Structure 1
Amino acid sequence: MAKRKQTSIIVDHDLEAAIPYLVARTGSRMGNAFSKALKPYGLSLTEWRVCASLGHTPHQRLSELVVRACVDMSALSRIIDRLIEQGFVCRERSEEDARALRISLTEEGAALAREIVPLAQHYEAIALNCFTKAEVKVLRTLLDRLYENTEVLV
């Protein structure tokens, strides 16, 4: 078998300076850490996002939750089924459109969300403790703008 000559491949792209990489890397680290904290509650990170979203904005349609929980529709349907089995959420008919379903937290789900919120806030505070309040406000604004601007990519 012939030996291949190794060459250096130079690509004019510094991954570690790329904004998508930096955002994903940060999100991954924070998500992985918080996922471990959620284990005693029997929730995955995505399940928590669904519960947190419903705790903040009750009676959402699946199409709303897809965006807020950052998950695709098929995965969200399975997550909702699991959360219903656990007694944390319920489906209900929309008052505006009897054909439409809305998802809400049950009393048990709301109690669990209230219990986890301080933990989520603690993890966020640790991640942001190197920023001033003004910097955090700017960071939120920039990330929201970045998210909105990337809508043309999907």
Structure 2
Amino acid sequence: MPHQPAEVALAVKRLQHRHHRALSKALAPLGLSLVQWDVLRHLNRNPDASLHDLAVLTFQTDQSFGTLATRMADRGLVERLPGPGRPVRHRLTDEGERLRAAGQELVDGVVQASFQHLSATQIEQLGALLDVVLATDPTA
């Protein structure tokens, strides 16, 4: 029986939900939520990113991200620095980088376990298919 697009979309959502649960559990001993680790990951990839850019990358509103960034700065995980003009820029602290790296190892383990029944070729095919689907929406 061929897969219907709605069923495939639901399967993607179920996999995402499974990953969220497993990643939240794996990151908890580090004192990080998945959302906090995601911020650290994006800051590692985008040093000096603005509040708005980080909000977009982490699927949050500017207001909710501002609250999260303030809490993370209070914990010593990120620095909030004035940028040129109005934007506030963000950077990882040494502690934020340490937790990001530790979290990355945990995340890699969860994701590898999730895809362990796929061959390298199948993972590449899945990634390529998702690239095609996501390319049709420039905001994705």
Give the corresponding residue for 2:129. Answer: 142
CA distance in 1, matches of 2:106, 2:35: 16
Q: Which runs of 5+ in 1 are unaligned?
A: 1-13
What value does the CA root-mean-square deviation take over the aligned residues?
2.4
Please state if 1:71 is matched with 2:60.
yes
Q: Secondary structure at the match of 1:102?
A: strand
Deviation at 1:33, TM superposition (A): 1.0
Deviation at 1:73, TM superposition (A): 2.2
Deviation at 1:44, TM superposition (A): 1.2
Same amino acid, percent of matched pairs: 27
Indicate if the aligned counterparts of 1:92 and 1:103 stay in contact, CA closer than 8 A: yes
Please list the CA deviations of residues 88-129 of structure 1 after superposition, one character each: whole Å capped at 9, or x if unmatched: 0111123xx332211111111011111111111111111111
TM-score by length of 1: 0.77
Q: Secondary structure at the match of 2:49?
A: coil
CA distance in 1, matches of 2:48, 2:13: 30
Deviation at 1:150, TM superposition (A): 3.9
1:85 maps to amino acid:
D
Please state if 1:104 is matched with 2:91.
yes
CA distance in 1, matches of 2:54, 2:132: 20
CA distance in 2, matches of 1:31, 1:150: 23
TM-score by length of 2: 0.84
Count of residues in Structure 1 that have an aligned counterpart in Structure 2: 138
CA distance in 2, matches of 1:16, 1:103: 39
Q: Go from structure 1 to structure 2 and tell me whether the alpha carbon gap of 1:34 and 1:57 turns closer, same or farther (over 3 Å shift).
A: same
Moved beyond 4 Å, runs of 4+ = 14-17
CA distance in 2, matches of 1:19, 1:74: 33
Q: Go from structure 1 to structure 2 and tell me whether the alpha carbon gap of 1:142 and 1:124 turns closer, same or farther (over 3 Å shift).
A: same
Indicate if the aligned counterparts of 2:55 and 2:65 stay in contact, CA closer than 8 A: yes
